[in-house]
Structure 1
């Protein structure tokens, strides 16, 4: 039978998705600064996009998808630069990303920095999806949004990828680009030379995903400015920001993100509750109402960590100890119960996977 739902229901659903928080307001302020507008003209542009000026300076304020798209589109039109996402990405450095940038800057290795990025990126872009995958000898950092292709979509992908590549080159020179690849899901734009200035010849369009691919062995590269004390303070600030995120990020997602610190320490139920500004009793009740518990979420987080550790070379015994299992056999049973295969079989399946072209 054909779908006979009223058309306005789909429109209302789209409107709801467009109104959800998406992009941190501080990026909008920086985007406005790319234009030579006086204060009155800036306020006029913000009013046109239904954005209150206070959103641009608040630590906790996010623009909705609709607001950010309208602003991006208008700024591109006013600037006359369809490649503005590339040049805007050049303007960003780690310090423009607040506590998240400070945390990444203070890490010991590239792997630790990426783990922190994966844990806290929603403090800057709630609507994004960021994943670190392993395909043969490659590490693949994939990035996307739950939306259709548009000029604003391309702008955001360009901005993030240029920022990531430039940050990587700042710390590691051309190492990450050697045998690396930038994959983009949209068609080749008219301004290809601007891409080549940043990504050289290592860019592919019309790919099945948006991803940065590099040699997995480079994950052990040391960062230039490790600082355990600064990292601790920056991560604490990130935890506080995570706890204050708008409710689009569910309680379960927040708990999963906070259970383990980058150095592997596991937060207790009471510590998680404190980070989320509620009592442990309230946290337990809310998790139960959503069909979860502290124990089940901890087990899921452990298995996810185990998957990552298995493909980086740690032995089953070492992984079991890192994840606080009483012995390797208990770890093996828990892993197989969750994934359907033993840790060794999982490791072999990942290492034998064909390299992504």
Structure 2
């Protein structure tokens, strides 16, 4: 999971500045988190999920403020989001601004999902951070929704929050009073999603600073950033990579879900959405592992036992069904191809 990228590095720099630390202390904290200082200033650099988790946990620990996501969200403004912020600022209407946000949010936050739905007379902007059991999950949700609400208040006052509300998927935190500074009474916990709901008619509201020329330049910059984004490994590929431990033990659905910071139910649903199941991937991973072990010279009987087949015959039948060759024929073919 260390290779999974999550958060633009410049947010790491902004988060670090929340703490009253001198440069030496900042560098020491970054070293503890496994983050090179250069990552925080590059236009193209992203922190991994692991680095983000460590940094967020460390900042919360040092500050003693578990509501740090709310504080951080308050500090962000459109200019802290680079070209994306400039593009949103230059739009003609709220709808255009949200459409641009949906198109380019991955230039700032890769491992997340943002979408706009319509439910009767409501527009529903849904945000989710894939690792629902990640240590930084609530921080990320708090930051994004405070930023969304504060930005909307800057442009439109209380119009979006009037008859609108925020839905959050986690339970009510102990520091509820801090939520009221931003969301007032317009927040619901233990919801089935994380969403900002507002009157659909408000999408036509004019933005305060439309600028077609600046918008064109900002969009071009966003497109260039999108083209340079690192390619993310799909969930299916992640599952395949994590299926077997270095010692050859096969992970259960629950163990995989834990490694991916999500519930087993969510993992099953996401895999199904990509046309796969845990069982089909487990069988595929078994055959792939068997091929590796055969090429390494491992005896067939030992491979069958390691992969939890009842006996070598069952292993042989399963292997041939998937590859068209018996284990011995596969080993011979691979040996011949090497020579």
| Deviation (angstroms), 1:148 | 2.5
List runs of 5+ in structure 2 lacking aligned partners. Answer: 235-339
Do the aligned partners of 2:129 and 2:140 also contact (CA within 8 Å) in 1? no
The answer as to 2:133 corresponding to 1:131 is no
1: CA distance between counterparts of 2:219 and 2:213? 10
1: CA distance between counterparts of 2:138 and 2:209? 32
Q: How many residues align?
A: 234
Specify which of 47, 62, 83 is matched with residue 31 of structure 2.
Answer: 47
CA deviation vs aligned residue, 1:44-101 (integer Å, no higher than 9, x gap): 1111111010000000000000100110001000000001110110000000000000
**With structure 2 as the length reference, what TM-score do the two structures score?**
0.68
Q: What corresponds to 1:30 in structure 2?
A: 14
Specify which of 132, 144, 169 is matched with residue 148 of structure 1.
Answer: 132
The answer as to 2:56 corresponding to 1:78 is no
Considering only CA atoms, is the larger Rg found in Structure 1 or Structure 2? 2
| Deviation (angstroms), 1:210 | 0.3
| Deviation (angstroms), 1:150 | 4.4
2: CA distance between counterparts of 1:149 and 1:205? 16
**With structure 1 as the length reference, what TM-score do the two structures score?**
0.65
Q: What corresponds to 1:100 in structure 2?
A: 84
Specify which of 198, 205, 215 is matched with residue 182 of structure 2.
Answer: 198
Do the aligned partners of 2:44 and 2:225 also contact (CA within 8 Å) in 1? yes
Aligned Cα root-mean-square deviation (Å)? 1.1
Moved beyond 4 Å, runs of 4+:
none
List runs of 5+ in structure 1 lacking aligned partners. Answer: 1-15, 251-357
Do the aligned partners of 1:149 and 1:186 also contact (CA within 8 Å) in 2? no
CA deviation vs aligned residue, 1:97-123 (integer Å, no higher than 9, x gap): 000000000000000000000000000
Do the aligned partners of 2:87 and 2:219 also contact (CA within 8 Å) in 1? yes
Specify which of 49, 53, 62 is matched with residue 46 of structure 2.
Answer: 62
1:1-357 equivalences in 2 (<5 Å): 16=1, 18-248=2-232
Flag the 1:22–1:150 CA change in 2: closer, same or farther, 3 A.
closer
CA deviation vs aligned residue, 1:171-200 (integer Å, no higher than 9, x gap): 000000011010000010001011011101
| Deviation (angstroms), 1:249 | 7.6
CA deviation vs aligned residue, 1:7-38 (integer Å, no higher than 9, x gap): xxxxxxxxx3x421110000000000011111
CA deviation vs aligned residue, 1:227-274 (integer Å, no higher than 9, x gap): 000000000000000000011188xxxxxxxxxxxxxxxxxxxxxxxx
2: CA distance between counterparts of 1:249 and 1:89? 29
Do the aligned partners of 1:184 and 1:204 also contact (CA within 8 Å) in 2? yes
